[in-house]
Amino acid sequence: MSDTQPILEVENLCTTFTRGGVALPAVRDVSFNVGKGEVLGLVGESGSGKSVTLRSILGLSRRYGDVTGSVKWMGQDIAQMPERKLRHIRGRDIAMIFQEPMTSLNPLLTVGMQLTETLKAHTDLNRAARRDRAIEMLDHVGIPAAASRLEEYPHQFSGGMRQRVMIAIALAANPKLLLADEPTTALDVTIQAQILDLILSLADELSMGVILVTHDLGVVAQTCNKAAVMYAGRIVEQGDVRQVLRAPRHPYTVGLMRSVPQNVPPRSQLYTVPGTPPSLEALPQGCAFAPRCQSRTDSCMATRPPLESIAQGRSVACFNPVTDAQGAAA
Amino acid sequence: MASIQYILKRLLLMIPTFFLVMIIIFLLVRFLPGDPAIAIAGDRASDADLEAIRERLGLNQPMLVQFWLFVTNTLQGDLGRSILLRAPVIDVIFDRLPTTIFLTLYAVTLSLLIAGPLAFVAALNRNKWPDAVIRTVFQVGLSMPVFYIGLILLTFLAAQLRWFPVGGYGDTFVERLHHMFLPSVTVALYTSAIIMRNLRSAIIEVLDAEYVQFARAKGLPDRLVLGRHVLRNALISTVTLLGLSIGNLMSGTLVTETVFAVPGVGRLMLEAIFARDYPLIQGLTLTFAVLVSVVFLLTDLFQSTLDPRMRLT
Amino acid sequence: MTDITALSAEATIPQKTRLQLALRKPGFLIGAFIIGVSAMLALMPGVFAPYDPNLIDYVAVKQPPSWAHPFGTDMLGRDSLSRVIFAYKVNMQMAILATVFAMTIGVIVGALVGYYRGFADMIFGRVVDAVITFPFLVLVIAVVAVLGPGLINMYIAITLVGWVYYARLMRAEVIAQMGNDYASAGVVMGYSDRRIIFRHLLPNAITPVIVYWMTDMALAILLGSSLGYLGLGAQPPQAEWGVLIAEGRNFITTAWWLSLMPGIAIVLTGLGFSLLGDGLADLLRPRG
């Protein structure tokens, strides 16, 4: 737990998309804090609302749906801030990197241009200084012969190198918070660890906060201070990473833990959480996880359990939370 | 820039296509009813005269030899003589071609001016009322035959209000712009409907692209996100689309030239058909095919110039 | 946005709900209504037309629209409304006859070359390249010139050129479908080629073709009436919209209604087909 004043406070964030007249509640009542230099892991299956949460923080979801709730950056609410003002926070204070290095860089512009345009938007550096800084950044993220690669286009880089370029672009203006949306999912396994190490060492070096969206609990265990588990658009459990992972309270977290291969004896059958996540347009009335839950009761089907604090900085949304003994047995 | 190698490769690929184009044209004309010799010499010509003409045109030869003659003559620029205009086909076509090219370029410019900004407005306001209005208007435009648009413009703006001349082509460039305005608008209204529809979805696709989201996340001002990231990418699809629609554009030009009595190759084509002037039909059909191929080639080159991914071929 | 597209892909809407959604769209309903009414007019024009379309009345020549003649009368005193209504028969027929044969040939050829590939596919590729090198209208009128003007020849000409476009679409779709597992599964299970093509590939690949067919019907009416206007399609005294507009052209300053009214019929019908097509596309196309 970090005891510093949080830099980002998200409260009751809700994002709703509309498809063909049907409302899709992609994110519901999500609340969390991130302190200076803190790394928060946002975990869940695809479609659980992790990415939408990140995009809603930066105001990127506005064009696609309704966003309510508050997002406080250094005490200032940016959730309803007009685009014109918000853009000075994007990239300069809060930066974001995306999942797909193949599609997240503009194929028609040189890497140098895509790097320096960020600097031009947020700094007073002149042309030559921007170029120097761009080379410095590329060098910093581990791209060899950086100066000669400024004039190259994204398709001339490999996937891992492209992800490094994206990190260089995101960090060019020295942001205080980095939103990383599954930054390693699209990469080869061997590259994944390198990129993660790079992000975390840079975060440490710049004392930058990070929200790391991932579906990989192993990554969370290794890298995060705090963890929040999302299911069907809601946070179902959150707290200090050691507590959440060692003593999960929510049956869904337990299920996720059990499906990580490292935790099982060799040659045993790999565990999967039975069933599939519900469709957002037909969410069950009660707990969204209830239909897949082995310890559900009638009240789970009838009413949705609220996210309640069970200890300092630790909360869970379940009527029948898993006890330590059960968690250990799993 | 596109490499010389690429251009050469592209040109080589056109050879088999053109071989087939020649076969199609050759076969078409061979199936024309009636004896071409009679068509040239007239009904009262003597048998000896007809025989002489057949001999001269190679009509007595086997099909393959005739085709060979057709191909070699065409390659030497000899497309025969027009029966209707009593002049070499190639001269007649070169005489009329500039008018059609002028009309086409004029129409392309107008349709870009009409469709481009409106597509942007529609895409940025997707599913809101400006989008709905623009799409409905163009939907109606797409359902209007070109000759009908032309007839309405001709009747109301030229004949009734006298804002524009009813016919003629004009001598100076400015005069031409004035004379050809209504024909160009006619073609442009039709093509801009096609362009607008596709450009709107192209822009929407680009707007949703991850790199545009990333550009927004970087904190770029809207002006740069739209101008640098969206416009450039949407421009490629627009040009490609325009290139691919050249056939439609030419079809529209043909009808429009007839409605407005513009002395271009389109109207000539219809005159040739009614006069059964088969050398002229043959030459004109080939001309249209060449025009379309040239535009396809230019589109490809433009695309490979704009898109760095296509440069290394 | 990955997540948002993932969302909509995840939300696979069942067929029944999709129909309900399509029915809620005003465009689809308007399209269906227009085509329904047009079909009725085409099937029984006599019931709706106030006069015999060919009844010549030299006493009432070029009369402006009135209660007795809502669309006025033409240069021979024939009732314009009745002529426009009787033209529905020909023009609606165009939408069908100028497209179904092209579609049938195209679907079969496209499926075969897409499935077998090889030499035939290579030749097909060249043919497509050659045919799209001609502007559609130029090739069609060239064929009409060979066969002679007239409705039947026009249908033949449009079919001769149009099948290529269907075949190209079908071929691409079959090739895309063959990448799917069920097609290879069919091969592994030793089904006959015919069974794989007609039972498995065709039903799955046909959806885009059907959607294209709708737009093509709208185009066929535009093309057919254009040829009628140019004097290469339907021939007077046949009541056909293009022919009617051409007949009125000489009197356009004195009797504007003669050309204006048939044009409105063209626009309405074309609009009906494209609205219906858009709705059908929403209905049939897999979401995502």
- Residues C136-147 have pLDDT tens digits of 999 999 888 888
Q: What are φ and ψ of residue A297, in 5° steps?
A: -125, 175
What's the pLDDT at B186? 94
Cis peptide before C237 (omega within 30 of 0): yes
Taking CB atoms and an 8 Å limit, are A55 and C1 in contact across chains? yes
Tens-of-pLDDT digits for all 313 residues of chain B? Answer: 556 787 888 888 888 888 889 998 888 877 766 666 776 666 677 888 778 777 777 777 788 888 888 899 888 888 888 888 889 999 999 999 999 999 999 999 999 999 989 999 999 888 888 998 998 888 888 889 999 999 989 888 877 777 877 766 777 888 888 888 999 999 999 889 888 888 898 898 898 899 999 999 999 998 899 988 998 888 888 888 888 888 889 999 999 999 998 999 999 999 998 888 888 988 999 999 999 999 998 988 888 888 887 765 4
**pLDDT band for position A329 (50/70/90)?**
very low
Contacts of A99 in chain C (CB under 8 A): 2
Out of A60, A83, A88, closest to residue B217 by CB: A60
Q: Does B75 touch chain A (CB under 8 A)?
A: no
Question: Cβ contacts (< 8 Å) between B220 and chain A: which residues?
Answer: 87, 91, 117-118, 121
Give the CATH number, domain containing residue C249: 1.10.3720.10
Please name the member of C2, C3, C11 whose beta carbon is closest to the beta carbon of A19: C11
A100 interface with C at CB cutoff 8 Å: yes
pLDDT at res. C10: 37
> Searching chain B, which residue's CA lies closest to the CA of residue C132?
B247
Nearest CA-CA partner of A164 in A183, A178, A190, A188? A183
Task: Please report how many Cα atoms fall inside a 13 Å half-sphere around the Cα of residue A257, on the Cβ side.
Answer: 23
Q: Is residue B312 part of a domain?
A: no
**Between chains, do A17 and C3 touch, taking CB under 8 Å as contact?**
no
Greatest mean pLDDT among B244-248, B303-307, C87-91, C178-182 lies in C87-91
| Half-sphere exposure at residue B44, Cβ-oriented, CA atoms within 13 angstroms | 0
Q: How far is CA C102 from CA A310, C112, C159, C224, in A?
A: 70, 15, 5, 15
Question: Between chains, do C11 and A280 touch, taking CB under 8 Å as contact?
Answer: yes
Question: CA of A96 to nearest chain B CA: how many angstroms apart?
Answer: 6
* Whether B62 and B129 share a structural domain: no
pLDDT tens, position by position, B8-18: 888 888 888 88
Tell me the chain A residues in contact with residue C1 when contact means C-beta distances shorter than 8 Å. 51, 55, 60-61, 64
Interface mutation vs chain C, best among B15, B151, B214, most C CBs within 10 Å: B151
- C-alpha distances in Å from residue C273, one per residue of B107, C31, C65, C219: 27, 6, 28, 9
Q: For residue A19, name the pLDDT band (cuts at 50, 70, 90).
A: confident
Chain A neighbors of B221, CB-CB under 8 A = 87, 121
Contact C2 A51 (CB under 8 A): yes
Q: Which domain holds residue C33?
A: 20-41+80-284
**For helices C257-284 and C202-230, what crossing angle results, to 10°?**
170
Q: Is residue B83 part of a domain?
A: no
Task: Determine the distance from the C-alpha atom of residue A14 to the mean position of all C-alpha atoms in its chain, rounded to a whole number.
Answer: 16
| Minimum Cα–Cα distance from A118: chain B residue | B218
Q: From the CB of residue C179, how many other CB atoms can be counted at a distance below 10 Å?
A: 8
As a whole-number percent, the residues of chain A with pLDDT over 90 amount to 38
What average pLDDT does the structure give for chain C? 84
Residues B13 and B94 in one domain: no
A8-93+176-192+202-262+269-329 folds as Rossmann fold (3.40.50)
Calculate how close chain C gets to A42, using CA atoms only, in Å.
14
Domain boundary among B45, B75, B105: B75
Flag if B143 and C266 touch (Cβ within 8 Å).
yes
Inspect the interface and report whether the beta carbons of B218 and A100 lie closer than 8 Å.
no
Distance from CA of C12 to the nearest CA of B (A): 20
pLDDT, residue A263, reads 57
Q: What's at B182, amino acid-wise?
A: L
The reported pLDDT for the residue numbered A135 is 94
C-contacting chains (≥3 CB pairs under 8 Å): A, B
Residues of B in contact with C2 (CB under 8 A): 210
Out of B211, B219, B306, whose CB is closest to A92? B219
Q: What 3 state SS string does A98-162 have?
A: CCCCCCCCCCCCCHHHHHHHHHHHHCCCCHHHHHHHHHHHHHHCCCCCHHHHCCCCHHHCCHHHH
Query: What is the predicted pLDDT for the residue at C277?
Result: 84
Contact A96 B233 (CB under 8 A): no
Tokens standing for residue A113: 């241009």
Q: Are residues B269 and B194 in the same domain?
A: yes
Residues B45 and B143 in one domain: no
Same domain as B189, residue B255 = yes
- H or E element that contains A197: helix A189-205
Whether residue A64 and residue C8 make contact (CB cut-off 8 A), yes or no, is no
Among the candidates B48, B75, B102, a domain finishes at B75
Q: B284: how many CB neighbours lie within 10 A of its CB?
A: 30
Check whether residue B25 and residue B119 sit in a common domain.
Answer: no
Between chains, do C135 and B160 touch, taking CB under 8 Å as contact?
no
C13 chain-A contacts, CB cut-off 8 A:
20
Domain membership flag for residue C10:
no
pLDDT of A260 over the 80 cut? no
- B84 belongs to a structural domain: no
CB contact under 8 A, C21 and A99: no
Query: Distance (Å, rounded) from C-alpha A89 to C-alpha B4?
Result: 47
The SS3 assignment for A91 reads coil
Contact B219 A107 (CB under 8 A): no
Q: How far is B205 from chain A (nearest CA, A)?
A: 12
With contacts defined as CB-CB under 8 Å, which chain A residues touch B216?
60, 87, 90
Say yes or no: B285 and B153 in one domain: yes
Q: Mutate which of B207, B210, B214 to test chain A, going by most A C-beta atoms within 10 A? A: B214
For residue B247, give how far its alpha carbon lies from the nearest alpha carbon of chain C (Å). 4
Do B193 and B288 lie in a common domain? yes
Determine contact: A284 vs chain C, CB below 8 A: no
Q: Which residue in the set B214, B229, B309 is minimally distant from A155, CB to CB?
A: B309
**Unique residue bearing structure tokens 């996880």:** A289
Query: Confidence band (pLDDT; 50, 70, 90) for A266?
Result: low
User: In B125-143, which ranges are continuous DSSP H helix?
Assistant: 129-142
Q: Is the domain of B9 the same as that of B155?
A: no
pLDDT digits (tens, 9 = 90+) for A47-73: 888 899 999 999 998 888 899 999 999
Residue C131 placed within a domain: yes
Can you tell me the distance from the alpha carbon of B159 to that of B165, in angstroms, rounded to the nearest whole number?
A: 8
Q: Do C10 and A21 touch (CB under 8 A)?
A: no
Chain A CB contacts of B307 under 8 Å are 107-108
Q: Is A103 close to B211, i.e. CB distance below 8 A? A: yes
Residues 170-209 of B with CB under 8 A from A: 209
Number of domains making up chain C:
1
> Which CATH number does the domain housing residue B248 bear?
1.10.3720.10
- Cβ of C270 within 8 Å of Cβ of B142? The answer is yes
Residues B128 and B14 both lie in one domain: no
pLDDT tens sequence across C37-69: 999 999 988 888 888 888 888 888 888 888 888
Of B16, B51, B75, the residue that ends a domain is B75
The number of domains in chain B is 2
B contacts of A121 (beta carbons < 8 Å): 218-221, 224
Residue A155 burial (CB < 10 Å; 0-12/13-18/19+)? middle
| Residue spans of alpha helices (H) in B34-88 | 36-41, 47-57, 63-75
Taking CB atoms and an 8 Å limit, are B217 and A92 in contact across chains? no
Domain-wise residue ranges, chain A: 8-93+176-192+202-262+269-329, 107-174
User: Which member of C132, C148, C226 has the closest CB to residue B145?
Assistant: C226
CA dihedral A213, A218, A219, A225 (to 10 degrees): 80
Residue of chain C minimizing CA distance to B147? C226
Band the pLDDT of C1: cuts 50, 70, 90: very low
Nearest CA in chain C to A19: C8
If you ran DSSP here, which 8-state letter would residue A47 be given? T
Residues on chain A touching C6 (C-beta within 8 angstroms): 46-47
What are C204's two structure tokens?
A: 């799955």
Domain that holds residue B36: 4-75
Q: Is A281 on the interface with C (CB under 8 A)?
A: yes
Q: Is the pTM of this model over 0.95?
A: no
Determine whether the interchain pair B218/A121 forms a contact, defined as Cβ–Cβ distance below 8 Å. Answer: yes
Instruction: Give the per-residue pLDDT at B165.
Output: 77
Determine contact: C224 vs chain B, CB below 8 A.
Answer: no
Whether residue B108 is found in the same domain as residue B67: no
Q: Check if the beta carbon of residue C205 is closer than 8 Å to that of residue C189.
A: no
The residue of A15, A16, A17 whose CB has the most chain C CBs within 10 angstroms, and thus the best one to mutate to test that interface, is A17
Cβ contact, residue pair C1, A46, below 8 Å: no
Q: Is residue B23 part of a domain?
A: yes
Is A50 in the B-facing interface, judged by CB distances under 8 Å?
A: no
Task: Kindly state whether A51 is in contact with chain C, defined as any CB-CB distance less than 8 angstroms.
Answer: yes
Distance from CA of A180 to the nearest CA of C (A): 14
